[in-house]
Amino acid sequence: MPDLSIQAKKNREAKKLEKRLRREVGRAIADYNMIEEGDRVMVCLSGGKDSFAMLDILRKLRQRAPIDFEILAVNLDQKQPGFPESVLPDYLESEGVDYRILEQDTYSLVKEMVPEGKTYCGWCSRFRRGILYRFARQNGYNKIALGHHRDDIIETLFLNMFHAGKLKAMPAKLLSDDGTNIVIRPLAYCKESDLVDYAELQAFPIIPCNLCGSQDNLQRQVVKEMLNSWQKQFPGRVETIFKALSDIAPSQLLDSNLFDFAHLEKKQHRQLDLQQLP
């Protein structure tokens, strides 16, 4: 027979984890005004742990929320070989979730366009984003929820610094480049390790990505390993980096578009004049 005390402890830990994730998602939604009364939210479901968790937590929050909003789960079947087409519909129907499966063969396009040995992620995400954005516009969904979490945001910061020379990460909420879609990331405050544990506890039917996940030496994986190493050596460092993203001092950087370095002398003179007043 199983040890009841051990099972009871696991149940308590599971409840604490779910409560923590609900609290973090709720805080992110409130901090960035992600969801309002009457919103129609399109939840992008890839079949990975993060999007499953996002859908599950948003549904649970909706039950308690003081506002009314709509949720539609949308998956893009990109026609990857071996993709288990019945897994998501079976799960969503068993949960009573409204959903749509979009079908478009972006897999063949990406394989054709990307040279051997290069990563597929850029073109794959570009095609996927365009299809999902267009569906949202055509069907009146005014918010698009993506499953990026805290670690994704930090990794993107370093990828942009190392490879693009930009101090840029992933915002929790953004307006698309064409000005027609609002994208939200409700998991922005959630740790990836918590989402891994939550997915295991909830027994989500995870579908691996065989297109980009099968490629070795992806730069994102390299950055992930770097951050994990830092976190082990200096516990709390990743949390500190994430906090820095919301506490920016433009005057201490070098971007003259964000801070008026050219006219500091005028500010200095005004301060000196004020000090000389009787």
Residue 168 pLDDT exceeds 50: yes
| pTM exceeds cut of 0.85 | yes
| Residue 141 near residue 40 (C-beta atoms within 8 A) | yes
Predicted confidence at residue 202, as pLDDT, reads 93
Averaged pLDDT, 145-166: 96
Averaged pLDDT, 132-144: 95
Q: Which residue has the higher pLDDT, 3 or 172?
A: 172
Predicted confidence at residue 7, as pLDDT, reads 77
**Paired tokens of 4:** 């009841």
- pLDDT bin (cut points 50, 70, 90) of residue 111 is low
C-alpha distances out from residue 233 to 66, 117, 125, 153, Å? 43, 33, 33, 21
Share of the chain above pLDDT 70, in %: 89
Instruction: Give the residue extent of every domain in the chain.
Output: 4-259
Q: What is the mean pLDDT of the chain?
A: 89
User: What distance in Å separates the CA atoms of residue 51 and residue 43, rounded to the nearest whole number?
Assistant: 8
Beta strand pairing call for 40-44 and 143-145 = parallel
Predicted confidence at residue 216, as pLDDT, reads 45
Predicted confidence at residue 11, as pLDDT, reads 81
**Fold that domain 4-259 belongs to in CATH:** Rossmann fold (3.40.50)
- Return the beta strands (E) in the chain as ranges: 40-44, 70-77, 99-103, 143-145, 173-175, 182-184
Residue 158 pLDDT exceeds 50: yes
Distance in angstroms between the alpha carbons of the first and the last residue of the chain: 86
Question: Residue 89, SS3?
Answer: helix
Lowest mean pLDDT among 20-24, 125-129, 245-249: 125-129
User: What distance in Å separates the CA atoms of residue 153 and residue 224, rounded to the nearest whole number?
Assistant: 11
Predicted confidence (pLDDT) per residue in 179-238, tens digit: 889 999 999 999 999 999 999 999 999 987 655 544 445 788 899 999 999 999 999 999
Residue 18 pLDDT exceeds 60: yes
Q: Which residues contact 269 (CB under 8 A, 6 or more apart)?
A: none
Q: Is the dihedral of CA 196, 123, 41, 79 positive or negative?
A: negative
Predicted confidence at residue 4, as pLDDT, reads 66
